[in-house]
Structures are given as C-alpha cells and as structure tokens.
C-alpha cells in the first residue's frame, strides 16, 4: 500500500498512522496503530524494535475468517474509544456483546486468546 | 538581620561570641572560599583597614574588629553587611531580597575608583570560583560580587559605565555583570556573548513539594473494559443451551477452547457442557476450579464413554464425586487429577477397587492417600503402567512393598513425598521396575542415594530416558559423577579392568550379568538435578558426557558451585531445547554465548540468580525465551 510506504519514513507520524490487518480469506482491514496496539500480540508484531516482516510492512495477518477479524477490529476500536483519555462515559459492554453473532463466538474466543498476547516478556 | 537592625540581641553561645570577636562571619568565610587561590588578597581582606579601601569600607572596619557594643553605631553598614553575610539565608526568602538590594546599592553609590578596581579584582576571583563550581553556587557568588563585599561596590543602577569589552557606554542595571577577566563591567550584549546569562536568578532552594500531591497513584482502575475473550466466554455461556448455534467444533479446537477458557478461569458449570458428549473418549480441563461437586458429577454422567480424564485444579472433587466417576465411567483407563485433596482414603479405596482397568493413575497433592490406598492400588489395578503419586503427604517407606507388587511400570513418579522411601525400599523398587522404566522421578527422597543409583539404576534400567532427581539431598558429587561415568559400561568389564572403580558390586551378580548380552541404557533425554547443592562440576560434566547427544531438557538449577568449565560442557548437548541453569553462580555470558550459538534448537533458558549473566554479547538473533536476567545485575 502506497500510503503505508509513505508513512514509513515519516517517523513523527508513526504513532498515528494506519496499519493493515488481513484475514485468511483475503480481506484486509485498516485500523489506527494505536487501535491495533490494544492487542498485545499485534503490538509485539508491529513493535518498532523488532525486525518482523509485519513491522516493516505494517501489515498483520490474522489467520481467521474475515467475519472474525472484523469483530476483532471492532472490539479493538471499541476498547480504544472507551479506554482513551478523557472518555468518562460509562461503558456499555452489552452494546458490544450484542453485536457478536453467537456463531462466531467460539472462533472469536480462540482469536482473542491468541491476540491478547503473552504477558511474560521475551528477551 | 532584623535582630541587628533593632538592636535587640538574645543570649549567644560561646562559639558565636568567639567567632564574632575574631571577626569571622559568613562573609569572611565565603570570601575565603572565593579567594582560595590568592592568599595575599585574602590577607588584605582580613586587614580591611587598608588605605585603599573606600569610605564605606572604613565605615565597616571598626565593625569587623570591635566587639558587638559598637554595632549599634554602625547599624546602617551593619545592616548592609548583615544582608551580605546572610547569603545563605538570602536564598531562603528570595522575593524579600529585592528591597534590601536596592537600599544597599544606594548606600554604595559613593563608590570610589579604588573601590572599583578592588571590585574588579574581586570579580575576577569570583569568576574563577564560579567556573569551578556548580550552578547552584553561581547565585551566591554573583551576590558577592554584584552587591559587593565590603570593598566591591557596583556602580548604582542607572549610572553610566563603559563596557570593558566593546568599550561602549551603557547604563548599569541590576543585571550588569562584571567582566571576566577583569577589569570593568560588561554591557548587556557582551555579557550575553560571554556565555553567562545576566538574567539568571540566584538559585532558589527548591521548595519541598508535598509528596502526596506529586504522586499520581491510581489505586484502582475506574472501569475495566472486559477482554474480548471474556466477552466471548460470556456469550458462549449465554448460548450454551443452544450449542448448535456455536457451530461444529472439531476435537482440536475443543482442546484449544478448553485452554482459552481455563486461562481466564472461565470454565463454569454452565459452559462446561460445551465439552460434553456421549461419544467423548478424552476430556481435559485445564482449570476446573469453578466446577462444583455437582458439576463434576454431571461431567461423569454426560460422558459415560470417557477413557481418559484429566482435571487440573479439581479442588472441589469430593469423595462422592470420585465414586460417581467409578460408576458412571466404567471405561476409564487413565485418570489424572491435580489437587484432589478433599477425597478421603475410603473413597480412594472404593474407587480403586472398582476401577481395576486403570492403566494410568496420576494424582498430585492428596494428603489422605495412605498405605491402605496404596495396597488396594497394588491389589486391584493389575494393568497399571504409569503411576504418579506426587506430593503425597503420607508416603513413607511402607509404600515400597506395594509398589514392588505392581506390574512393571513405565512411568514412576513419587516426587516430593511427606516422608519418603528409604534406600532399601528404592533398591527393591528399581530392581522390580527398573528394566521397564522410561520415566523416573524421585525428587526429594532422601533415601535415593548414590548407592541406589550405582547399584540399582545402573544395573537394571535399560530404557530410561527421563530422570528427575531434584532435591535428593543424599546424592554426592562424586557418586553421581561415577554413576554417569560408568553407566554406559557393563558392570563386568569394569570388574575385569579393576576393582577400584566399583568396589561395591557383588562378584556373583557380575558373573550372572556378564552372561547375558549387555545393552546399555541409552542416553537420557530429560534430566533434572535441580537444587542438589552437593552436586557440582564433576556430576554435571559426567552427566553431560553421558547424555549429551540426546539431551533435550536439562535442569541444573541450584548447582551453585559448578565451575564455568563444567557449565561450558553444556554446549555439547546440541539437541537441548530447554535449559534451566538458575543459581549456577559461575555461569557467565561467555558460556551462554557458546551454548546459545551451538545449541541451535534451544528455545527456553532460565538463568534466575546467575549474577554474571547479563545477556550481552550472545550474538544470536533467534527467538529464545530467556527468563531471569537481572537488568542491572552482576559485576
């Protein structure tokens, strides 16, 4: 994506650029870097001090269906919005829960489990 | 200074009195510091009554030398002096400083040319002092020269002065600075060009900020947004009665889901149904903490065909539940329980009697599993091949006999007992099971000695690949080294070579064993020698030499005296995947570099307490999990 390439050399804008998340069936989703950083796994993937392919290309593949990846992105945006600075609004979790179709819940659980990321840091 | 101003004086100490009489006051001390390098100027200062001094100095002179009775007469000069002497106290009330300064400058207005040269000289001294000091002291010295000691009056603000550098005329302000090097004063431009900031204020002592205000501690999170996994678990629980809505789950995914649920301690009596099926053969829950006795009974009745059941953290598994297991799941051949501490001895006995088909029986932490249970196990379970009785509080030497009456075991794990089995018990057990044992864990058995290793394990074990000897405190460095050194050789050949290596071997047995073809035990794949403080370099080196080619998992945690030469041998274990070398004090980065470079399959290392390992210079760009490097540790 040309946009990504352009952003790469602009170090100052790095914090606020977009990253791409792709699903296993070929769909791609563009989210803000700060939103993607909600997921520990994605954050590590995109970490600037790694030389992962994901970090260089600003693209994270998630090997789940688009329906699942979409919900993941939705959740991350949702959480980024409510956990962002200054948002004192009450969180209506049900509002989000209702948006998850039950049939993807299990897949979503596995994806979420993977994306939450490891707590112990590796050197 | 107010004290002096209004002539009220309280009692003073003998030291104060003496200092005052000797003419020592903060100004002279400060000047002494400032003019340290020029003793002659200091002496001049002390004998202030020199002819070159200005009138205002003269005014001060008697003040210096006379006792305090004269102070009231010179109260004006004294006042000015008082201000100067208090350069330390200046800093305490900075805002109040302004007016005295102006006043002072007013009195100094009648400065003469000689005084000016004097001031220049002082300025130079101060300049030097400034150069050698830190920022904080700048204020003090600036005060000294700009407001002057007794002899360094700056021209009054508003008067004209010629700049010492650019020789232009400029107006003196309170920010005007003396030239460095002297003589003269600098105009604003030159002062700035010289690198000093004329507007720099004397350093105000930092006010102590109220600590409680400064800290920004969030003692609780206002609202915690649930994790996506938690939301999913909630959703799954909500739709649990409508399992079809969740779609078809494969066996692999099932296990993954079980793990994901357990990680969040999310397995509840409600959503556990997700995993139940009449046709289920295997079931594993990784965290069954939230499953009540009723839920566990339900588990048994809804999965009647289970053959393998593995429950971790099954703390609520009670005696009735265990009995329900035996009645509802007759096909069960493998039972693994972590923490069934509520089950009573009678229940174990009844369960074991009913489950004669058990092949695998592994329990950890059951304080009520007693000798009678063990006896029942030996009597009724004739198919058992893998036995694990970890952390059984009542295990003592009496357990040895029933253990010996078991069918030949592949896996024997009796780690961390309450009491432990003695040496002779171990000799019998290894003699019985040694030839079939693949995995042996004798951790924390004091009765597992060098003798058992050398006489039983060496003689009988043929297919052992996993050996865990954590905290076997009776083992000695030499004994273990000898065991590993000789393990690959048949006992008889050693006897031929010489008795010195193996004095304890019985000659009759030697002749017997030498009759059959000798097949040495293959090198170990898993070895743990953790927390054996007696073990050291020799045992470690011998173990590595013996098993280097196949060792994949090694724990030498706590071999604190093992030398770096012995630890360097670790690099021979090229198949190593996991290494715990915690508290090996001699381990350093050089050894680790070798190990990490050579052992290409290594993916997890623990180096807790290795203060010489700092993780630098390993030069490996592989994904290795390294735990325990102290960030600022070591040397």
Residues B99-141 have pLDDT tens digits of: 444 444 444 444 445 555 555 555 555 544 444 444 544 444 4
Cα-based angle B567, B570, B576 (whole degrees, multiple of 5): 145
Contacts of B235 in chain A (CB under 8 A): 97, 100, 102, 105
Residues B531-568 have pLDDT tens digits of: 998 999 999 999 999 999 999 999 999 998 999 999 99
Any B CB within 8 A of A105 CB = yes
The pLDDT of residue A12: 45
The pLDDT of residue B605: 93
Stretch 48-87 of chain A: residues touching chain B, C-beta under 8 Å: 72, 75, 79, 82-83
CB contact under 8 A, B225 and A83: yes
Q: How far is B245 from chain A (nearest CA, A)?
A: 5
Lowest mean pLDDT among B403-417, B457-471, B478-492: B478-492
Any A CB within 8 A of B260 CB = yes
Cis amide leading into B183 (omega within 30): yes
What three-state secondary structure class fits B344? Answer: coil
Asked whether residue B319 carries a pLDDT value surpassing 90, the answer given is: yes
- Listed in order, strand segments (DSSP E) in B446-542 are 466-468, 526-528
The confidence band for A117, taking pLDDT boundaries of 50, 70 and 90, is: low
Helix (H), strand (E), coil (C) string for B24-66: CCHHHHHHHHHCCCCHHHHHHHHCCCCCCCCHHHHHHHHHHHC
Q: What is the DSSP letter of B163?
A: B
Task: Report the share of chain B in percent with pLDDT over 90.
Answer: 43
Please, are residues B188 and B76 in contact by the beta-carbon 8 Å criterion?
no
Please, are residues B422 and B445 in contact by the beta-carbon 8 Å criterion?
no
Residue of A nearest to B271 (CA): A106
Any B CB within 8 A of A115 CB = yes
| pTM of model > 0.90 | no
- CA–CA separation, B396 vs B418, rounded Å? 7
Asked whether residue B86 carries a pLDDT value surpassing 50, the answer given is: no
Any A CB within 8 A of B627 CB = yes
Contacts of B247 in chain A (CB under 8 A): 103, 106-107
Q: How far is A80 from chain B (nearest CA, A)?
A: 10
Domain membership flag for residue A8: yes
Asked whether residue B54 carries a pLDDT value surpassing 50, the answer given is: no
Distances (CA, A) of B302 to A112, B20, B42: 29, 99, 101
The pLDDT of residue B244: 62
CB contact under 8 A, B253 and A96: no
Domain membership flag for residue A87: yes
What three-state secondary structure class fits B260? Answer: helix
Domain membership flag for residue A120: no
Any A CB within 8 A of B113 CB = no
Which residue, B361, B336, B476, is CA-closest to B411?
A: B361
Asked whether residue B409 carries a pLDDT value surpassing 90, the answer given is: yes
- Whose structure tokens read 């329990």? B363
- What is the pLDDT averaged over residues B243-258? 74
The pLDDT of residue B8: 66
CA B516 from centroid of its chain's CA atoms: 55
CATH number at residue A10: 3.30.710.10
- Kindly tell me the burial class for residue B402, based on how many C-beta atoms sit within 10 Å of its own C-beta (0-12, 13-18, 19 or more): middle
Residue of B nearest to A98 (CA): B235
Contacts of B21 (CB under 8 A, 6+ apart): B67
Which residue, B52, B76, B50, is CA-closest to B63?
A: B76
- What is the pLDDT averaged over residues B203-232? 61
CB contact under 8 A, A122 and B223: no
Domains in chain A, number: 1
Contacts of B601 (CB under 8 A, 6+ apart): B552, B574, B575, B576, B577
CB contact under 8 A, A90 and B242: no
Please, are residues B271 and B261 in contact by the beta-carbon 8 Å criterion?
yes
Q: Could you list the residue range(s) of the whole structural domain that residue A6 is in?
A: 2-115
Asked whether residue B11 carries a pLDDT value surpassing 80, the answer given is: no
Contacts of A72 in chain B (CB under 8 A): 228
Residue of A nearest to B247 (CA): A103
CB contact under 8 A, A113 and B256: yes
A12 or B476, higher pLDDT: B476
Residues B603-633 have pLDDT tens digits of: 999 999 998 888 888 877 777 888 888 876 4
The pLDDT of residue B169: 82
Distances (CA, A) of B500 to B390, B483, B496, B509: 38, 14, 11, 17
Domain membership flag for residue A21: yes
CB contact under 8 A, B232 and A109: yes
Contacts of A99 (CB under 8 A, 6+ apart): A71, A74
Residues B164-178 have pLDDT tens digits of: 778 888 888 877 777
ipTM: 0.78
Q: How far is A20 from chain B (nearest CA, A)?
A: 20
What's the mean per-residue pLDDT of chain B?
77
B233 or A122, higher pLDDT: B233
- Closest by Cβ to A116, choosing from B229, B247, B623: B229
Asked whether residue A2 carries a pLDDT value surpassing 50, the answer given is: no
Q: CATH 3.80.10.10 occupies which residues in chain B?
A: 523-635
Which CATH architecture describes the domain B523-635? Answer: Alpha-Beta Horseshoe (3.80)
Lowest mean pLDDT among B195-209, B249-263, B372-386: B195-209
Lowest mean pLDDT among B306-320, B379-393, B413-427, B511-525: B511-525
- Whose structure tokens read 């381990």? B587
CB contact under 8 A, B232 and A120: no
- What is the pLDDT averaged over residues B44-52? 46
Q: Which helix (H) or strand (E) holds B132?
A: helix B113-132
Identity of the highest mean pLDDT range in B170-184, B442-456, B490-504 = B442-456
Q: What is the DSSP letter of B422?
A: -
- CA–CA separation, B461 vs B518, rounded Å? 12
Residues B455-476 have pLDDT tens digits of: 999 999 999 999 999 999 999 9
- CA–CA separation, B100 vs B79, rounded Å? 9
Contacts of B606 in chain A (CB under 8 A): none
Interface test with A, best of B225, B226, B617, B618 (most A CBs within 10 A): B225
Report strand pairing: B169-171 vs A59-61.
unpaired
The pLDDT of residue B139: 45
């Amino acid at each position: 994506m040309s946009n990504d390439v352009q952003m790469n050399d602009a170090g100052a804008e790095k914090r606020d650029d977009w990253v791409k998340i792709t699903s296993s069936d070929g769909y791609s989703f563009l989210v803000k870097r700060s939103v993607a950083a909600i997921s520990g796994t994605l954050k590590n993937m995109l970490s600037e001090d790694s030389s992962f392919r994901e970090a260089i290309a600003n693209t994270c593949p998630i090997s789940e269906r688009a329906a699942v990846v979409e919900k993941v992105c939705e959740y991350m945006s949702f959480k980024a919005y409510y956990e962002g600075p200054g948002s004192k609004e009450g969180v209506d979790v049900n509002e989000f829960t209702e948006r998850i179709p039950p049939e993807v819940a299990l897949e979503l659980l596995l994806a979420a489990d993977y994306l939450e990321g490891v707590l112990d840091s590796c050197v | 200074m107010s004290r002096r101003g209004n002539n009220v004086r309280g009692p003073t100490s003998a030291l104060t009195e003496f200092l005052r009489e000797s003419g020592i006051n903060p100004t002279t001390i400060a000047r002494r510091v400032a003019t340290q390098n020029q003793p002659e100027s200091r002496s001049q200062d002390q004998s202030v009554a020199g002819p070159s001094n200005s009138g205002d100095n003269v005014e001060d002179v008697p003040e210096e030398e006379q006792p305090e009775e004269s102070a009231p007469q010179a109260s004006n000069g004294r006042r000015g002096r008082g201000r100067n002497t208090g350069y330390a106290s200046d800093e305490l009330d900075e805002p109040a400083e302004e007016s005295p300064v102006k006043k002072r400058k007013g009195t100094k207005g009648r400065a003469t040319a000689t005084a000016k040269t004097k001031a220049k000289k002082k300025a130079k001294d101060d300049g030097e002092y400034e150069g050698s000091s830190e920022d904080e002291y700048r204020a003090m010295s600036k005060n000294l020269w700009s407001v002057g000691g007794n002899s360094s009056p700056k021209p009054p603000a508003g008067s004209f002065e010629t700049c010492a550098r650019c020789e232009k005329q400029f107006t003196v302000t309170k920010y005007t600075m003396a030239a460095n090097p002297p003589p003269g004063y600098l105009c604003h431009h030159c002062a700035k060009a010289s690198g000093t900031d004329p507007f720099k204020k004397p350093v105000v002592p930092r006010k102590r900020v109220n600590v409680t205000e400064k800290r920004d501690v969030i003692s609780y999170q206002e609202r915690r947004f649930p994790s996506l996994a938690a939301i999913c678990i909630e959703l799954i629980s909500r739709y649990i009665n409508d399992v079809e809505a969740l779609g078809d789950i494969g066996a692999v995914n099932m296990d993954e889901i079980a793990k994901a649920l357990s990680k969040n301690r999310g397995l509840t009596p409600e959503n556990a149904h997700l995993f139940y099926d009449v046709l289920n053969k295997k079931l594993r829950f990784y965290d069954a903490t939230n499953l009540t006795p009723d839920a566990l009974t339900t588990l048994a009745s809804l999965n009647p065909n289970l053959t393998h059941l593995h429950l971790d953290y099954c703390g609520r598994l009670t005696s009735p539940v265990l009995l329900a297991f035996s009645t509802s799941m007759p096909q069960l051949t493998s039972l693994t329980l972590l923490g069934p501490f509520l089950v009573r001895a009678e229940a174990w006995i009844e369960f074991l009697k009913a489950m004669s088909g058990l092949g695998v029986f592994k329990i950890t932490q059951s304080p009520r599993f007693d000798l009678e249970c063990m006896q029942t196990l030996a009597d009724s379970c004739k198919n058992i091949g893998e036995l694990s009785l970890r952390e059984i509080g009542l295990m003592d030497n009496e357990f040895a006999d029933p253990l010996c009456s078991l069918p030949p075991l592949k896996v024997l794990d009796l780690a961390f007992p309450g009491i432990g089995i003695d040496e002779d018990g171990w000799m019998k057990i290894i003699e019985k099971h040694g030839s079939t044992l693949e995995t042996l864990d004798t951790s924390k058995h004091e009765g597992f000695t060098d003798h058992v290793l050398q006489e039983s394990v060496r003689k009988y074990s043929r297919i052992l690949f996993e050996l865990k000897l954590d905290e076997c405190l009776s083992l000695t460095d030499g004994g273990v080294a000898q065991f590993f050194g000789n393990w690959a050789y048949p006992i008889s050949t050693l006897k031929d070579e010489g008795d010195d290596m193996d004095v304890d071997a019985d000659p009759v047995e030697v002749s017997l064993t030498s009759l059959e073809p000798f097949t040495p035990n293959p090198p170990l794949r898993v070895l743990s020698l953790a927390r054996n403080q007696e073990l050291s370099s020799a045992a470690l080196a011998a173990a590595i030499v013996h098993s280097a080619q196949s060792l994949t998992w090694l724990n030498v945690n706590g071999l604190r005296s093992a030398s770096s030469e012995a630890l360097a041998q670790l690099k021979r274990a090229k198949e190593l995947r996991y290494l715990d070398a915690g508290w090996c004090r001699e381990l350093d980065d050089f050894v680790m570099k070798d190990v990490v470079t050579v052992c290409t399959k290594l993916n997890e290392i623990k180096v807790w307490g290795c203060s010489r390992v700092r993780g630098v210079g390993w030069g490996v760009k592989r994904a290795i999990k390294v735990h325990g490097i102290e960030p600022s540790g070591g040397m």
